[in-house]
Amino acid sequence: MAEPQPGTGTSRRGFLRAVGITGGAGAMFATMGALGLAPTAAYAAEKEAPFSAPRRGDFTLQGRGGKPAKVVVIGGGIAGLTSAYELGKAGYDCTVLEARDRVGGRNFTVRGGDTVTDLNGVTQKVTFSQGQYMNCGPARLAQWMSTLDYCRELGVPVEVFTNTNASALIYNETTGMKAPVAYRTAKADVYGYVSELLAKATNTGALDAELTADDKERLLTFLKSYGSLGSDYKYTGTEHRGFSVDPGAAGTPGAELGDIPSLSEVFTSNVGRYFSFEFGYDQAMLMFQPVGGMDAIPMAFAKAIGPDKILTGAAVTDIKNTSDGVQVTYTRNGRTKVVHADYCIATLAPWILARTSHNLGSTVQTALQAVRPSQASKIGLEYKSRWWETDFKIMGGITETDLDLDHIWYPSYGHLGERGTLIGYYNTGAHSDTYSALTPAQRLERAVTQGVKIHGEKYRSELAAWYSHQWKLAPHIEAAWHSMPGGPDAPAFVPLNQAQGNVYFAGDYLSYLDAWQCGAISSARKVVTELHQRVLAS
């Protein structure tokens, strides 16, 4: 369930599926109706995360011992903030050491006035207008994700993130497409021909071994509706494609978009490769975002934790288990300091941690080194006008391409306003690396040149400000996400899934929700629970 690569591999999904089939956790639901989902209170209770937050009262409950301990949390990303927040609620004395100049980690929102220097020493000064922002890292939340529970708990308002839009476009240059096509049009044609073909096979008896007479009748009824087939089960276009002249007043019935491509043309264009994206458990609409920028979440966490508990600009240089706790060394403002605590939760990126001096042992070091960084990047393009809304009637969503910009995101905020900020590329892997090798000016030129192919000259002429963010070049982070052969429970990673002395490890890489904030949250909650149980038992 890594961040999406529409049309590419599904190895993680395959793994999840295998586990789901062999696991017994779904057993009770299997009895609750032919269609599987039992939307009852019992269902809801079961679906709730099993996390039971530590509470101050835990220490006074009969038969329970311990007292809140001192914990140093390394890293002020979502895993670190969750850890400090949950432990802090129960009375633990937490200190968060964050190497960067703000908390959030990859939850990083850029606004006008920000200055960002990358690992190459290249500085970009951001000149976005007031109210315009760009989420460089995570940008969307599925409605089942625990991240939204923290938004509720911390009072972070949310709004819909427009992950899917029938009016957004698809453009596969390499398949010979002469022009982009709207999702609505592409879907109408693909679903139309799929329905026509299956109706034909059904009506000619080719599926008689698979279908009862009732099945056939019901299937044909479905296909007619789904594919907008005529009474002869032929696909000859549909209003689902859109209109070249919109319907209007009497005298203006409108004209459906014409020139329907042939079946071969539709499948040659390969537009269908993007359709299953919207079915993903993690990507299906409805999706959400905090109002005003994703960093509202780390800001709210930091406020709740207490700013005095968080040190930014504090780069850890050494981590040691000691006879009675932990000793963590860091540099801040040019000075070296040491903090002692009972426990440590290390939430650094594993490749950074692997380069940090520690006495956690060689099995830990080997495990850390087995986690490989993966790359992604984005460019924010602020425009003087929202031409995608006025000229194209695209009010959000994502345009998919086979260009090396991968995706164009239209903003999910500021609708109908004067200005707006697109994500001009959100690309991954080799495409991301291509842009990381360029200067910011070169990245802009490359992105805009490609965008013009899709949207015309306004993509260049209306441009007002821009910022490109390559996670590969982000200090103290160096990657967008990661790959872990076999997943987080593979034998190679066992040392990271348990305390090593008084040191715990947390991060989305130690979850099945990699590259999602809720993965970091789930990992932090696991560690918080283990640490708290240990303290209570002490």
Q: Which of residues 56-115 bind its own copies (CB under 8 A)?
A: none
Rounded least distance, CB 206 to its own copies, Å: 3
Measured between alpha carbons, how far is 277 from 166 in angstroms, rounded to an integer? 13
Residues in 457-486 that interact with its own copies by CB under 8 A:
457-458
Residue 238 sits in the site that holds its own copies (CB under 8 A) = yes
C-beta neighbour count of 354 within 10 angstroms: 17
270 or 365: CB nearest its own copies = 270
288 or 466: CB nearest its own copies = 288
C-beta neighbour count of 174 within 10 angstroms: 9
Question: Which helix (H) or strand (E) covers residue 435, if one does?
Answer: helix 429-436
Residue 143 sits in the site that holds its own copies (CB under 8 A) = yes
Q: Are residues 91 and 123 in contact, defined by beta-carbon separation less than 8 angstroms? A: no
Phi-psi region of 205 (alpha: psi -120 to 50; beta: other; left: phi over 0): left
Measured between alpha carbons, how far is 472 from 39 in angstroms, rounded to an integer? 43
Residue 338 sits in the site that holds its own copies (CB under 8 A) = no
Residue 174 sits in the site that holds its own copies (CB under 8 A) = no
Strands (E), 57-151: 70-74, 93-98, 109-111, 115-117, 123-125, 133-135, 141-142
308 or 457: CB nearest its own copies = 457
Q: Which of 5, 11, 115, 252 binds its own copies (CB under 8 A)?
A: 252
Residue 430 sits in the site that holds its own copies (CB under 8 A) = no
Measured between alpha carbons, how far is 118 from 161 in angstroms, rounded to an integer? 28
Nearest to 47, CA basis, from 116, 149, 187: 149
Residue 257 sits in the site that holds its own copies (CB under 8 A) = yes
284 or 311: CB nearest its own copies = 284
What are the φ/ψ torsions at residue 407 (nearest 5 degrees)? -125, 145
Q: Are residues 420 and 382 in contact, defined by beta-carbon separation less than 8 angstroms? A: yes
Rounded least distance, CB 168 to its own copies, Å: 9
Q: Which of 53, 119, 207, 354 binds its own copies (CB under 8 A)?
A: 207
Q: How many residues bind its own copies (CB under 8 A)?
A: 164
Q: Which of 270, 312, 331, 434 binds its own copies (CB under 8 A)?
A: 270
146 or 470: CB nearest its own copies = 146
Residue 454 sits in the site that holds its own copies (CB under 8 A) = yes
Residues in 277-296 that interact with its own copies by CB under 8 A:
278-281, 284-286, 288
Q: Which of 406, 525, 532, 535 binds its own copies (CB under 8 A)?
A: 525
CA distances (Å), 454 to each of 169, 261, 403, 490, in order? Answer: 8, 20, 10, 43
Q: Which of 95, 107, 109, 167 binds its own copies (CB under 8 A)?
A: 167
36 or 334: CB nearest its own copies = 36
Measured between alpha carbons, how far is 56 from 89 in angstroms, rounded to an integer? 7
